[in-house]
Chain A
Amino acid sequence: MTTYIIRRLFQLIPVLFGVTLLVFLLMHLTPGNPAQLIAGETASQSTIERIEVSMGLNDPLPVQYVNFVTDVAQLDFGYSYRNNTPVFEEIKPRFWITMELAIYSTILSIFIGLIAGIVSAVRQYSVRDVTIMIIALFGMSMPNFWLGLMLMNWFSIQLGWFPPTGWGSASQIVLPVITLGTAGAAVIARMTRSSMLDVISQDYIRTARAKGVHEQIVIYRHALKNALIPVVTVVGLQFGTLLAGTVLTETVFSINGLGRLVIDSIMARDFPVVQACILIISVIFVVVNLIVDISYTLLNKRIDMD
């Protein structure tokens, strides 16, 4: 087991290398000279050259890459083109807003998804099962930004139950979390259902039933434990999707999180901020998936660790 964990940690190295390289190249592939962007349209040639030198833009690319990674490792993401403030300072207050949004939405989608999936599987092809699965299909097929707009229209504007924008108070959290969590809940419900059905058809469940074990205990103690194993992986992937989905949800509800910062910064061609946000979200996603992978193997002793 320890060797497996160590090997998975080693596999992280090429991925992190690739991610940092791609994000680094993002800035260099983008048309336009960063020094020009900082100095402004009217800057003289000598000003631009001075900025180029101070930013190290004339160094060979590999040298620039190594410098970039060294800086990033110390949480130094450079300076924002727009505000000339350290990128890290721009990100810090917004980071937790986005994490809160993603984590609450993940919890909501796990909670609803598990219940719906189990309830469906227990009575396969019943009216209840079919209804839940139709709702789940709709949940998967809805653009979350549209759902957000509709929820806002109904519950904020027409009914006045929740404030339409912002983040912080309990009532402000409700609509964005439902918006972001719905698709995840749908995916988890479908996965839980099919995983439960798989397990229920297995021999040991039949044995348990034949022994006369109470049906509730068969389902919740014997079946659920094993059925949850594949669901864990889906939850990990869903967390990543939700993290990226904050871009849309934050735009709809005017929440000042990382997601909106990415969009505003792309619009303003403020690439150090774009770089930093994409890098942070990806690294979190990679680490979360590593944790999920490891817990998956811990949960499922039968899995082949090669």
Chain B
Amino acid sequence: MANQNIEQNTDHSEVELQAMNVKKPSPWKDFYKRLKRNKAALIGFYTIVFLSIVSIVGPFLLSMDPSDVDVINKFSRPSAEHWFGTDHMGRDIFTRIVYGMKYTLGVGFGSVFLGAIMGVPLGIVAGYYGGRIDSFIMRLIDILLAFPGILLALAIVSILGGSLVNVTIAVAIYAIPGFARIVRGSTLAAKKLEYVDAIRALGSSDLRIIFKHILPNVSSPVIVNATLYIASAILTAAGLSFLGMGAQPPMPEWGAMLNDGRDYIFDAGYIAFFPGMAIVIVVLAFNIFGDGLRDALDPKLKN
């Protein structure tokens, strides 16, 4: 019995190998070539890398502390000493933005990662097994989708209470439907591929088929969706903090800084200008990179 299993397994691998060889003319190389041709996407990518490095290294290079209160120098306009000026407590806005970078990127990556971990399996199970499980899962997804935009995240944060971690969870839950739907579609398509049929006919287990054959096929739409989703996750999270439902002061989170800036918009508009500009740059980088990834990974959607 054990022998038979081993034999079967080797058989599978061969079939699988063959199938892979037939199917893949090295998609990653091809993908990289196409991505390289897209200048905007590369700029987006390098911006993300640069900002990620800044978020880690930046704080060590700065002489000021994000929570250094300096009442004498409050409301200083942008100058050589305070590049982006100081806020209502005399804290250096540039320093606070650099320190806040890690929260923004953290919430973006964290919530999308969590959302994918929950959404991808749901989509695969729905698409792969079909039937009642499929309709059940998709009805659940429909219910989540019935709460538009920031509303679902807001409802969740109102239960969990306002903090950056809860915002991450709320935005993650709001990300589930997108992942589940896209993955379900790709799973349905992958299931119909001939070689998957062949492997199933040879008696490969469902789990093995899912991990070795379905998952690689859904990975590129998941990556594209994740990148674009980070952009909107960052906007949603900043929005929640702006409303006072997310990061709490004195944390130098950009949405919370905008909330501070709102009170002084009449006299000191720059307090709100710079954190917002920082959000725009980060979100723009993810949007451009995501667009480029989509063009590179999905040639059908070109144009």
Contact = CB atoms under 8 A, between A and B. Distances in A.
Given A142-B280, A285-B146, A149 B158 contact: no
Contacts of A23: 155
Contacts of A138: 280, 284
11 contacts: A11-B142, A22-B155, A143-B242, A149-B262, A149-B265, A157-B265, A241-B148, A266-B154, A274-B155, A278-B154, A281-B148
Give 9 closest A-B pairs by Cβ, nearest first: A240-B148, A244-B149, A18-B143, A146-B276, A153-B269, A141-B283, A141-B284, A244-B151, A241-B149
Contact of A26 (B155, B231, B287): B155
Interface of A: 11, 14-15, 18-19, 22-23, 26, 29-31, 124, 137-138, 140-143, 145-146, 149-150, 152-153, 157, 164, 194, 197-198, 201, 237, 240-245, 247-248, 251-252, 262-263, 266-267, 274, 278, 281-282, 285-286
A146 B272 CA distance: 7
Contacts of B15: none
Which secondary structure dominates where chain B touches chain A? helix
B159 A26 contact: yes
Contacts of B143: 14-15, 18-19, 22
Interface residue SS majority, chain A: helix
B266 interface: yes
B303 interface: yes
A169 B258 CA distance: 27
Contact of B146 (A18, A26, A157): A18
Contacts of B146: 15, 18-19, 282, 285-286
Contacts of A252: 262
A157 B148 CA distance: 32
Contacts of B272: 146, 149-150, 153
Contacts of B244: 263, 267
Interface residues of B, number: 42
B159 A29 contact: yes
A266 B246 CA distance: 13
A249 to B, nearest CB: 11
Contacts of A143: 235, 238-239, 242, 255, 258, 276, 279-280, 283
Given A143-B238, A145-B258, A146-B280, A30 B159 contact: yes
A278 B155 CA distance: 8
Contacts of A152: 265
B263 to A, nearest CB: 11
Contacts of A267: 244
A212 B239 CA distance: 52
Contacts of A150: 269, 272-273, 276
Nearest to A200: B303
B147 interface: yes
Contacts, number: 143
B112 interface: no
A152 B161 CA distance: 30
B150 interface: yes
A246 to B, nearest CB: 9
A144 to B, nearest CB: 8
B245 interface: yes
B258 A247 contact: no
Given A18-B143, A30-B158, A274-B158, 18 more contacts: A15-B142, A18-B139, A19-B146, A22-B147, A137-B287, A142-B280, A145-B242, A150-B273, A150-B276, A153-B272, A157-B269, A237-B148, A240-B149, A245-B149, A247-B151, A247-B154, A248-B239, A285-B147
B288 interface: yes
B140 interface: yes
Contacts of A244: 147-151, 154
Contacts of B139: 14-15, 18
A142 B147 CA distance: 22
A187 B132 CA distance: 35
Contacts of B303: 124, 194, 197-198, 201
A286 to B, nearest CB: 5
In the complex, which of the residues A145, A194, A247, A267 has the most CB atoms of chain B within 10 Å of its own CB atom? A145
A19 B147 contact: yes
B96 to A, nearest CB: 16
A186 B223 CA distance: 23
Contacts of A201: 303
Contacts of A240: 148-149
Interface string B30-66: 0000000000000000000000000000000000000
